[in-house]
Amino acid sequence: ETGVTQSPTHLIKTRGQQVTLRCSSQSGHNTVSWYQQALGQGPQFIFQYYREEENGRGNFPPRFSGLQFPNYSSELNVNALELDDSALYLCASSLAGTSRTNEQFFGPGTRLTVL
């Protein structure tokens, strides 16, 4: 069973640029959630995708957008990067079903630095 993988591991961008982060969910999982974790803070929920549709969203502006593909992998896109977007971006996958508390499995994260 393959776990959650994310790419790239590290990324450096400049203010105003756009970035795409990628996530492959754990085998058999159909739901992907994205989080932003600033240094020394807890993860902040960005949004969740279920069956290729956005299924929930946290308090992030529209320049944070996402996609989920038929194989349940996912992308996080951030436009017009700001310095405060520098953080660790975590992807978590789960299997949505009759249980609303299915465990989320987290990837190792992508460290984004905006200069």
Partner 1 sequence: GNSVTQMEGPVTLSEEAFLTINCTYTATGYPSLFWYVQYPGEGLQLLLKATKADDKGSNKGFEATYRKETTSFHLEKGSVQVSDSAVYFCALSDYFGNQFYFGTGTSLTVIP
Residue owning tokens 């058999």: 28
Task: Pick out residues in 30-69 that bind partner 1 (CB under 8 A).
Answer: 33, 35, 40-45, 48, 50, 55-56, 58
- Nearer CB in complex with partner 1: 20/45: 45
Query: Total residues contacting partner 1 (rule CB under 8 A)?
Result: 27
| Conformational region of residue 75, where left means phi above 0, alpha means psi within -120 to 50, and beta covers everything else | beta
Question: Which pair of tokens denotes residue 58?
Answer: 């946290």
Contact between 2 and partner 1 by CB under 8 A: the answer reads: no
Question: Which pair of tokens denotes residue 78?
Answer: 């951030």
Please check whether residue 31 is in contact with residue 95, taking contact to mean a CB–CB distance below 8 angstroms: yes
Interface residues with partner 1 (CB under 8 A)?
4, 33, 35, 40-45, 48, 50, 55-56, 58, 90, 92, 96, 100-109
